[in-house]
Amino acid sequence: MGDYIVKATAYEDNVLTFAALSKDTVNRAKEIHSLTPTACAALGRSLTAVAMMRTMMKGEKDKVTLVIKGDGPIGSIVVVSNFPGIVKGYVGNPFVDLPLSEKGKLDVGRAVGKKGYVTVIKDIGLKEPYIGTVEIQTGEIGDDIAYYFYTSEQIPSAVGLGVLVGKEGDVLTAGGFILQLLPGVKEEVILKLEKAIGQITSVTDLLRQGKTPEDILTSIFEEEEVKFLEKIPLKYECDCSQERFESAILALGKEEIQKLIKEEQGIETVCHFCGKKYFITRERLEELLKEAEN
């Protein structure tokens, strides 16, 4: 079974819900970046969350970026989704290695840190993107994204994210859910949802049991009807290209390009998201300079 996201409503369309299975997506990120288990859990949770956040957006060309910058040893976490069901990301320090937490879990909160900021950038094709920034709450990522939704978008939300890494470092399973109250919801629905959320043990336990995204939502809401609306395949994929790299050089302007021609025989760069290398020769830089001058 491949990775995917489901979108649904519950409690007579008063709660909007998303759930994801992201094992292969997270495993691909681990392979690309040679992530330690702790770094894998941190990036994996972030990838899963952003995949679901992109599903909330309506336009085909909408983009969402999540940046988590705490004071922990992992440094920054950056995740981007430019298309529905496609994510990419990286962490500042993929080799961060920490002891397990007091609960015997991968210590994502300590890796991220307790001080810093969570920033969400949403580009829906307007002149300026929407940018929302909140302080990190726990560093566990799920709590921090829920706090972002409540504080920055005024949407009460519950976010559960989990990544299970085996003893050999392989990703055994990964996934998560986001539950959001819709405007005008009645108090009784809020109380029902709070009770349902309180009974959840952990996303990782549900995934370990082999629960699908559909199973996760139906187990949260028990006998309440869940109305499934959409199912979207999910994968890790980078959309970098030589053309995009050259466009970035062009955006520097002719003065900066002239400096590069004088100082360098050519330019090599490595994509942060997939590790692919790109090279621009001095001759190509001169061509780009002519384009910049025109």
Q: What is the DSSP string of 238-257?
A: ----HHHHHHHHHTT-HHHH
| 131 DSSP β-pair partners | 121
pLDDT of residue 96 exceeding 70: yes
What would the mean pLDDT of 97-106 be, rounded to a whole number?
Answer: 89
Place of tokens 């370990």: 208
Per-residue pLDDT for 4 more than 90? yes
- The pLDDT value given to residue 135: 98
Q: Distance between CA 63 and CA 80 in Å, rounded?
A: 7
Strand partners, 5: 20, 232
Model confidence over 126-169: pLDDT tens digits?
889 999 999 999 999 999 999 999 999 999 999 999 999 998 88
For residue 187, the model assigns a pLDDT of 87
C-alpha 162: how far from its chain's center?
A: 13
Asked if pLDDT for residue 108 goes beyond 80, the answer is yes
Please check whether residue 178 is in contact with residue 49, taking contact to mean a CB–CB distance below 8 angstroms.
Answer: yes
Asked whether residue 84 carries a pLDDT value surpassing 90, the answer given is yes
Mean pLDDT confidence for 7-29: 95
* Three-state secondary-structure class, residue 117: strand
Q: How far is CA 2 from CA 109, 172, 175, in A?
A: 29, 13, 12
Average pLDDT of 21-35? 97
Q: Which residue has the higher pLDDT, 262 or 139?
A: 139
Residues above pLDDT 70, as percent of the chain: 100
Question: Quick one: average pLDDT of 259-283?
Answer: 89
Q: What is the DSSP letter of 25?
A: H
Model confidence, pTM: 0.93
In this prediction, residue 55 carries a pLDDT of 96
Where are the extended beta strands (E) located within the chain? 4-10, 15-21, 63-70, 76-83, 86-91, 116-123, 130-135, 157-165, 171-181, 226-233, 235-236, 266-270, 277-281
Distance CA 72, CA 114 (A): 7
Name the pLDDT band for 196 (thresholds 50, 70, 90).
confident
Q: State residue 220 phi and psi, 5-degree precision.
A: -70, -45
Burial of 255: CB neighbours in 10 Å, binned 0-12, 13-18, 19+: exposed
Beta carbons within 10 angstroms of residue 251's beta carbon? 9
pLDDT tier, 223 (very low <50, low <70, confident <90, very high otherwise): low
Residue 273: closest CA among 95, 93, 89: 89
Q: Which domains does the chain have, with CATH numbers?
A: 4-236 (3.55.30.10), 242-293 (3.90.1280.10)
Q: How far apart are CA 49 and CA 180, in angstroms?
A: 13
